[in-house]
Structure 1
């Protein structure tokens, strides 16, 4: 913890971390608020699911695209534009009485205009700290984001059920605007300029560490999404126990990230951390007792934030600075697709064999992650004692001095 205190004393680190967490806080609220609002308006969970699907598709498509735009037009213009469009689309969903097709369109626009805050801040981090501090910083970031998933769903559910779904959506817009403005106006965004990428979009995935980070994120978040579906199904569609168990899962991740974030990252780091997740989820299959699930999911959570820290760190160390934002955009897209796949597979298994099927799916996702990390271990860089900062875009050019002209004597 002393190391984290020193890290947060680094000029600007505490401020930029607080600003980006506030700006990203609505990310833990939007899906649930839209689900509750559209169901209240249309009387159909199916209709709400279609709007959410459109939002997720938009987010998946936008991730690498808007992240790449930041290198072309600058972080502040892209973030400001997406914040405005995203906020207006959420207000449209909240305030307009329109057919389902229009709600789906607004959901799609909301997803497409999701501000690329994660890509921006993870591109800025290497310019703020020393190489030795970068891995702990990514771990701290991955750990603290669990606060979003603990607090945000509870907050939006309370407002939506006690005050109304329209005020809940308006609250999201207020937090989005306030947190987004705080982040956009942070001095660090003015000091860091992302060079335009010279490579075609998607070419960054040819880097093995980026591709492995994207696949690992897909599998890890797929496992987490299956857990969420399983917990909700276990405790009667989201009773008090469901919220508490999911909070324990997130607390395990928070504790794991803070406890093990300082450990140097070697080629086997991903496999080791995913083994912890797999063991915890495998044990969860044994019993659906609330205490057993709480203990096993806490154990599984211990590996989540450290695994995310590996994903972000190996990406940073493997690409040029101009490609970092796009790389993180692809990783975000992989995680979104993983969440959709995990939820879908868990849902089918819940219908077929009951809630236990969701934990089987979650353990399966995590186990595949371990296998991928072990089989392709050579694709993971060894960062022990190495600088995890992005590769500079400009390198010294060797020059050969011209030969000395011979002196001709008369």
Structure 2
């Protein structure tokens, strides 16, 4: 028998208590504005470049460059914020980000070569203000461990899912404005305003770096901890499966003769995810954290295999509603698992590694799914995604003990001694 830390069940009262915590109102409101464009920037950039150049090939490379920049920049910014606090890094990076976005717009409007646009897209991603990890880390300062803090982490995951519903829709709407760059500009303005506002809140300015573990002196930083690598692997698998679905679903809609419904079908995933996410926080499953990551990814993989069964878009919609139920629970589990997995003093960097892992997983999944859709059909992509998820879920199962904290180990030893 293994005794392990379990996260607490949370109620609506716990959500209210977290959001009403003294000092939380200003960071919550400003971080909402900063994170709203998270799912807008990349898509708005892709659509903008495609409209101006007429090439999806160039637009795809620019978008991929932005994705790479975000993956690297999130960890670098997280590590700096753990050392200095969020205020100065967010203010500096917001200013630099504004400059790179301006330069990217000039490069696109000039109709020049693709290389400068790709390089600038990487720079835009590198300097995208990482207010999300800073916001998540701030809860460790505002709340003690327990149900209310778990509710705050669940809120972070649910709010991000809402932004992923709204972001692509807003980007698609704004690209149809008289100027195709409107989505990129609006998204950047929201991100800079919200990030600067968050950085200047009293709670953020009072943030002082915690004592850092010796392990974070290495190049890997927080990822040097075995438990962190397990959480990152779970996040990578989660991103990979989502990335494969995000390509295969629009392809299925196009093959059915309703290409315009592709984006709407993907939104169905998020709708069920948000609803179930709130309920899941009240009764998380499995209870032990060391079992939760492999179980959720494996079950998610099985649910994705159901997407290969329907022969109509209506059937696919129902299957997406079912599969979407495990999106927010996984995001919440990743966030809560960091409590025990991350070395002391690395809260922001640790969450940044989760973002990086999801981003890289999504890029991997999209590339694989694109090839499968072209070579075979969307159902093949769904089945391969399911297989990848089950393999990674098995690996997580064998790595489950890395999520046991020192307190858990002591509890196991104590239990063994009493036998």
Q: Indicate the residue corresponding to 1:323 in structure 2.
A: 346
- The equivalent residue for 1:208 is 226
1:177 paired to 2:192: yes
Q: CA deviation at 1:126?
A: 1.3
Task: After TM superposition, list the pairs within 5 Å mapping 1:179-328 onto structure 2.
Answer: 179-195=194-210, 197=212, 199-236=217-254, 239-262=259-282, 263=284, 264-328=287-351
- Seen in structure 2, the aligned counterparts of structure 1 residues 50 and 187 have a Cα distance that, compared at 3 Å, is same
Q: 1:351 aligns with which of 356, 371, 374?
A: 374
Equivalence for 2:77:
66
RMSD across aligned positions (CA): 2.3
Q: Specify the alignment match of 1:398 in structure 2.
A: none
Residues 219, 368 of structure 1: 8 Å contact kept: no
**For structure 1, which runs of at least 5 residues remain unmatched after alignment?**
387-410
Give TM-score, length-normalised by structure 2: 0.86
1:240 offset after TM fit, Å? 4.0
Matches of 1:210 and 1:196, distance apart in 2: 18
Q: Aligned partners of 2:28 and 2:303: how far apart in 1?
A: 30
2:122 is the counterpart of 1:131: no
SS state at 2:395 partner = helix
| Bigger shift: residues 146-155 or 163-172 | 163-172
Shift of 1:214: 0.4
Task: Return the alpha-carbon distance in structure 2 between the equivalents of residues 111 and 320 of structure 1.
Answer: 26
1:19 maps to 30
The answer to whether 1:114 aligns with 2:114 is: no
Which structure has the higher relative contact order (CA within 8 Å, separation 6+)? Answer: 2
Q: CA deviation at 1:265?
A: 4.4
Between 1:312-321 and 1:131-140, the stretch displaced more is 312-321
Match of 1:7 in 2: 18
Partners of 2:237 and 2:297 within 8 A in 1: no
Distance in 1 (CA, whole Å) between partners of 2:273 and 2:116 is: 38
The unaligned stretches of length 5 or more in structure 2 are 1-11, 410-419
More displaced 10-residue stretch of structure 1: 246-255 or 271-280: 271-280
Please state whether the residue corresponding to 2:290 is helix, strand or coil. coil
Distance 1:372 1:15, change over 3 A: farther
Match of 2:53 in 1: 42
In structure 2, relative to structure 1, the CA distance for the partners of 1:241 and 1:12 (3 Å cut) is farther
Residues in 2 aligned to 1:383 and 1:144: alpha-carbon distance in whole angstroms: 31
Deviation at 1:382, TM superposition (A): 6.9
| Aligned-residue offset at 1:329 | 2.1
Note if contact 1:345-1:361 (Cα within 8 Å) is conserved in structure 2.
no
2:169 matched to which residue of 1? 154
Q: Pick the structure with greater CA Rg.
A: 1
Distance (Å, rounded) in 1 between the aligned partners of 2:302 and 2:23:
38
Normalised TM-score (structure 1): 0.87
Q: CA deviation at 1:196?
A: 7.2
